[in-house]
Structure 1
Amino acid sequence: MHGEPAYGPDFSHFKYVNPEAPKGGRLRLAVTANGYDTFNPLVARGVSAAGLQQYLYETLLVPSADEPFSAYGLVAESVETPKDRSYAVYNLRPEARFHDGHPITAEDVAFTFNLLMEKGHPFYRSYYAGVSNVTVESEDRVRFDFGEATNRELPLIIGQMPILPKHYWQEHSFGEEGLTPPLGSGPYRISEFEAGRYITYQRVEDYWAADLPVRKGRFNFDLIRFDYYSDETVSLEAFKAGDYDYRREMSAKNWATAYSGDRFSSGQIITEAIEHRRPAGMQAFVFNTRQDVFSDPKVREAISYAFDFDWANRNLFYDQYERTDSYFENSELASSGLPQGRELDILDNYREQLPEDVFKEDYTPPSTEGDRTLRDNLRKAMTLLQEAGYEIRDGAMVHEKTGQPLSFEFLLFQKSFERVVLPFKNNLERLGMEVSVRLVDTNQYVERVQNFDFDIIVHSFGQSDSPGNEQRDFWHSSVVDLKGSRNYAGVSDPVVDELVELVIQAPDREALIHRTRALDRVLLHGHYVVPNWHLSMDRIAYWSFLERPSTTPKNGVDVDNWWYGN
């Protein structure tokens, strides 16, 4: 994206893989969800099975896991683009094949783009909005012209597109096939499945890309199976019983208390906390500002004062986490202190449109560390609510003009989050708010979230070291009413829109850093979320017959680089 890539044109493999890793064996993984109902992850409808894009479809380019954003050739053997990156021509490898032996051609690439724009998930229409034209120049040469000449990311973005077989989808209904295994081109194909229970992928013996530098040492297991569990506790016990092989632990309580016993002390099961250097992004309680109750940022800020992270970290998380205070946490892109230098110059252009706090206060989530108490924070919350026009009547927080109570619902699908939300709920009720917590199954949750049918959810906005087009789908007003977009908070702010475009158009790394920090600061002071917490470690447990490379990339653990040992 900026500067030179880490690997030269003659590299043989990524440095974080074992190029001599043996092929064979099986890897069993687990998914905690109420099953799946589709093999098409590229549309908004339904809940797709685990692993589909990861194992079934190939892309023009693939990124490395130890750089901010560099892409290397997979289906594309080479890329031609001018200095301004106003277009990109992808020259395809003649050996690239779908699983039925058909070559991957430029027609397939153009067909895929048009299909995703017409019938794919709404995300693609915003993500690829900068493409003005696609031209098939020959069987193995396809050109994309970009109307946004200032978006230098587009050649890499198009490179991420999964390539679909035109000859297959012309005879099938895209998005309507349900559980008919589709034709792919990746290292695995679907072999066995039972909807709601499991899906198994089998390694393709004559996989066309097996010896390419970007694939050497990866995808080593003959079989990969995902088993579905509806309950996280049952899933953990199944792992300890040997029903699956590898687990990434997300619960601090489990990590502190559940990984003990003979199989751990004997070395049959190995536990490791492996440091990573990837951006943590923002996990948070997300307000749906489309709802009238959350239209006032003072109300949203007041609610944030009722979340006692420090108590939760001590009593629920075994002091394992750090509080998140940036949308680009754990990276140089995160804002901090007061704006200065080039970041201040950017924000000065919008000074009259922004709250004064953006320039005068360093954003810090409410805390109960030191001399600060929850009682102090609730007093601050009460002041903010009064400024927003609320008052207490008969013990209830109501709007002074309309008499409407301040009431809302937390929508969850993870039962483990109830223990975090319920103390938060109790604190909010001390302020006179009427709060409910609803736990629904995964399918219902996905449907409601995609249709913005919620008040507050828990969500993670994942970020990379090179933010770009995806920021539109997170924050831009153009997708605020687009069902299926990831603008869950309902952000619709002309300043945010312009800052998003500045991030996308950043001409170099230094400009990207300052522009991203400015966007981060404006979002934080908009109080669209109540930040949660983060951890710069991957907590993993695995059975000892699995082996992994000695080098872990900055993006963290990737089990697709592992292999079956003795």
Structure 2
Amino acid sequence: MRKENFLNLRAALAGITLAFAANSAQAESAHGIAMYGDPALPPDFVSLPYANPDAPKGGKVVFGNTGGFDSLNPFALKGTSPWQLRFWSYESLMGRSWDEPFTLYGLLAESVETPEDRSWVEFTLREEARFSDGSPVTIEDVIWSYETLGTQGHPRYRGFWTKVDRIEQTGPRSLRLTFNTEDRELALIAGMRPILKKAQWEGKDFGSDTVEGAPIGTGAYVVSAYEPGRFVTLRRNPDYWGRDLPLQRGTQNFDEMRIDFFGDETVLFEAFKAGELSAVREFNADKWDSVYSFPAVTRGDVVKSEIPHQRPSGMTGLVMNTRRAPLDDWRVREALLLAFNFEYINGTVTGGVQPRITSYFSGSALGMQPGAASGKVRALLEPFADSLLPGTLEGYTLPQGDGSKRNRGNLRKAMKLLEDAGWTVTDGVLRNGDGEALNLTVLIRQGDGEMKTVTEIYARALERLGITLTAETVDNAQYVERGTGYDFDLTRYRMELSLSPGNEQRYYWGRDGVTQPGSRNLMGMDSPAAEAMIDAMLTAKAPEDFTAAVRALDRVLTAGRYVIPFWSFDVGRIAHIKEMRYPDRLPVYGDRTGFMPDVWWYEAD
């Protein structure tokens, strides 16, 4: 991992410590805002440290998605839109630097102002800010965007709106949001809402799932052509208003970006090998070493790039829907964890190269520590001792197999837990006291061959417990719809987490997501302890208090046995055509939103 990345992270964390100790008596207008401390970049910075300010503009690139789309509105709950749209075509008042834990710099807004207690935040719009159709961005557009997204938009935008006491114009180009909740992160979240054009939606249904009418944004790229389910083409707006901003200099360099859609990953990869796609991300270390040796690679026409990062592991695995019996019983979930022979499955699928995720924030200073909880972590958790699952306070580690195919020891433990939960085997079938068999399904997105392989191996192990596990493969639209409505037993799960977790944690694990469609709380967890740990994170004023709250949350999540963890992605792997280049200086977050294609460029030999 690059030395300069470690130094940058240390500097950022040092800034957090200094910030917690500092107090300012009054609000001051600034070019940026950090969650804790001061922004690392000065007011006169030239460009982001991981961008090449001299990168050439030009070139066309093609990326691939699996599944399809039936909407071009990425901000509504209805319909399925290409996930890239909300990052490529839309902007917010502030933009994030991915080389700091959580820092924003002026984008549509030229400055930000907030008091020490962050009970309100005020933004001043840039006079030159424009939508892609050339019309100016107004305070009216901004206020309408906040209100509309907060009441009619996707659920990921609604939680913030409930914490806004009022939003008001304070000047010709300024507005203020006042909050009704003590939460230091709200001032930053306010700067990250996408800004849309009010006039476009007069007399129209913002939540419509029609493919017509992509929202007008201020971003550098606009949809120039599309065919539902097949492709979307975006072209860089030659009149893009923000091309000379320090935050944008050296970014958004391609003239045209196209997204082609494929039925499954295998067809997509074959298209890449044939030269139809410009780049693919590979998440399987074994495939990276074994199948990326086709002629274009050996000729040097395709380059294999590895991108290190310093962010938490996050969670990847099979999520269990606790809204459904018997998955609402932790003993059944622990039995399913024991039956999942990770060592054997990992060896089969990834060659055993990728280590297992051990907790949600593993691989970072925010991850829970081994053994029993102590100190501040224990003090935060003890008021909930009666409701915490076994292992939360005492210490919890994932089951480990002996590496053999049959995994006999763990299966015996699993059967004992199932019996304790009231399940017994009759004629080779596991049944409860009412004689009902334990049958489970795994919801799989069409084209996810890896998940099919994992499910097949796992199903054979569960057979030995008398449990039937069935794979149910559906197309992209059905997959999204059923995930939104929590219509599954188990399904693939991926949750990326940051070095500065905050309000989004409530969207991930909060009790509102148990019944509210479309949240990221796929497991349906309802934990007063988790809610309290999130509250503690958001009100922490000392670095050790913040870290303790995250570590305590990590314990609640991991000991909750909601997900069967897979392998970690400790490095990003991107195969791309040789004409695609990126800077040598890499951000702390590595290959995440804001890296490819944002800071890449096209350069022919």
Does the alignment reach a TM-score above 0.5?
A: yes
Matches of 2:468 and 2:568, distance apart in 1: 29
RMSD: 1.6
Fraction of identical pairs, as percent: 40
Report the CA distance between 1:355 and its aligned residue: 3.5
Q: Could you tell me which amino acid in structure 1 is paired with residue 464 of structure 2?
A: R
Q: Could you tell me which amino acid in structure 1 is paired with residue 91 of structure 2?
A: E
Matches of 2:320 and 2:328, distance apart in 1: 9
Moved over 4 A (4+): 369-373
Q: Which residue of 2 aligns with 1:309?
A: 342
State the aligned residue count.
562
Q: Which residue of 1 aligns with 2:437?
A: 405
What secondary structure is seen at the aligned counterpart in 1 of 2:168? Answer: strand
Taking the TM superposition and a 5 Å limit, the aligned residue runs for 1:148-163 are 148=181, 150-163=182-195
> 2:587 matched to 1:553?
yes
CA displacement 1:328-356 (0-9 Å, x = unmatched): 13221110212122112212222233245
What secondary structure is seen at the aligned counterpart in 2 of 1:39? Answer: coil
Q: Is the 8 A contact 2:197 2:215 kept in 1?
A: no
Q: Is the 8 A contact 2:222 2:235 kept in 1?
A: yes
CA displacement 1:164-194 (0-9 Å, x = unmatched): 1111122533122532233221111111111
Matches of 2:160 and 2:333, distance apart in 1: 29
2:278 to 245, 249, 254: 245
Q: Is the 8 A contact 2:72 2:211 kept in 1?
A: yes
Matches of 2:297 and 2:318, distance apart in 1: 35
What secondary structure is seen at the aligned counterpart in 2 of 1:353? Answer: coil
Matches of 2:318 and 2:540, distance apart in 1: 30
Higher mean alpha-carbon deviation, 474-483 vs 210-219, is at 474-483
Taking the TM superposition and a 5 Å limit, the aligned residue runs for 1:213-232 are 213-232=246-265
Q: Is the 8 A contact 2:390 2:559 kept in 1?
A: no
Q: Is the 8 A contact 1:358 1:522 kept in 2?
A: yes
Q: Which residue of 1 aligns with 2:544?
A: 510
What secondary structure is seen at the aligned counterpart in 2 of 1:428? Answer: helix
Matches of 2:149 and 2:214, distance apart in 1: 19
1:478 to 503, 512, 523: 512
2:422 to 385, 389, 406: 389
Q: TM-score, normalised by structure 2?
A: 0.90
Unaligned runs of 5+ in 2: 1-34
Matches of 1:493 and 1:358, distance apart in 2: 13
> 2:453 matched to 1:419?
yes
Report the CA distance between 1:93 and its aligned residue: 0.4
Report the CA distance between 1:124 and its aligned residue: 1.7
Q: Could you tell me which amino acid in structure 1 is paired with residue 600 of structure 2?
A: W
Taking the TM superposition and a 5 Å limit, the aligned residue runs for 1:306-385 are 306-338=339-371, 339-361=373-395, 363-369=396-402, 374-385=407-418
CA displacement 1:514-542 (0-9 Å, x = unmatched): 10110110121111111111121111111
Report the CA distance between 1:160 and its aligned residue: 0.8
Higher mean alpha-carbon deviation, 185-194 vs 369-378, is at 369-378
Q: Which residue of 2 aligns with 1:463?
A: 497
Matches of 1:230 and 1:464, distance apart in 2: 31
| Cα distance, 1:96–1:267 mapped onto 2, change above 3 Å | same
Q: Which residue of 2 aligns with 1:18?
A: 52
Report the CA distance between 1:369 and its aligned residue: 4.3
2:465 to 407, 431, 437: 431
Q: Which residue of 2 aligns with 1:118?
A: 151
CA displacement 1:268-324 (0-9 Å, x = unmatched): 111122211122211121111110121110001001011111112222211221111
Matches of 2:452 and 2:554, distance apart in 1: 29
Matches of 1:355 and 1:246, distance apart in 2: 44
Report the CA distance between 1:475 and its aligned residue: 1.3
Report the CA distance between 1:162 and its aligned residue: 0.3
Q: Is the 8 A contact 2:443 2:472 kept in 1?
A: yes
Matches of 1:235 and 1:275, distance apart in 2: 25
What secondary structure is seen at the aligned counterpart in 2 of 1:437? Answer: strand
Report the CA distance between 1:547 and its aligned residue: 1.4
> 2:317 matched to 1:284?
yes
Taking the TM superposition and a 5 Å limit, the aligned residue runs for 1:81-230 are 81-148=114-181, 150-176=182-208, 177-230=210-263
Matches of 2:437 and 2:428, distance apart in 1: 11
2:109 to 76, 85, 96: 76
Higher mean alpha-carbon deviation, 299-308 vs 403-412, is at 403-412
Taking the TM superposition and a 5 Å limit, the aligned residue runs for 1:23-42 are 23-33=57-67, 35-42=68-75
Q: Is the 8 A contact 2:150 2:159 kept in 1?
A: no
Q: TM-score, normalised by structure 1?
A: 0.96
Unaligned runs of 5+ in 1: none
Q: Is the 8 A contact 1:293 1:407 kept in 2?
A: no
What secondary structure is seen at the aligned counterpart in 2 of 1:561? Answer: coil
Q: Which residue of 2 aligns with 1:259?
A: 292
Q: Could you tell me which amino acid in structure 1 is paired with residue 505 of structure 2?
A: Q
Q: Is the 8 A contact 1:128 1:158 kept in 2?
A: no
Matches of 1:369 and 1:158, distance apart in 2: 49
Q: Is the 8 A contact 1:152 1:507 kept in 2?
A: no
What secondary structure is seen at the aligned counterpart in 2 of 1:436? Answer: strand
Q: Which residue of 1 aligns with 2:266?
A: 233
Report the CA distance between 1:240 and its aligned residue: 1.4
Report the CA distance between 1:197 and its aligned residue: 0.9
Q: Is the 8 A contact 1:38 1:48 kept in 2?
A: yes
Matches of 1:38 and 1:328, distance apart in 2: 34
What secondary structure is seen at the aligned counterpart in 1 of 2:386? Answer: helix
Matches of 1:256 and 1:439, distance apart in 2: 28
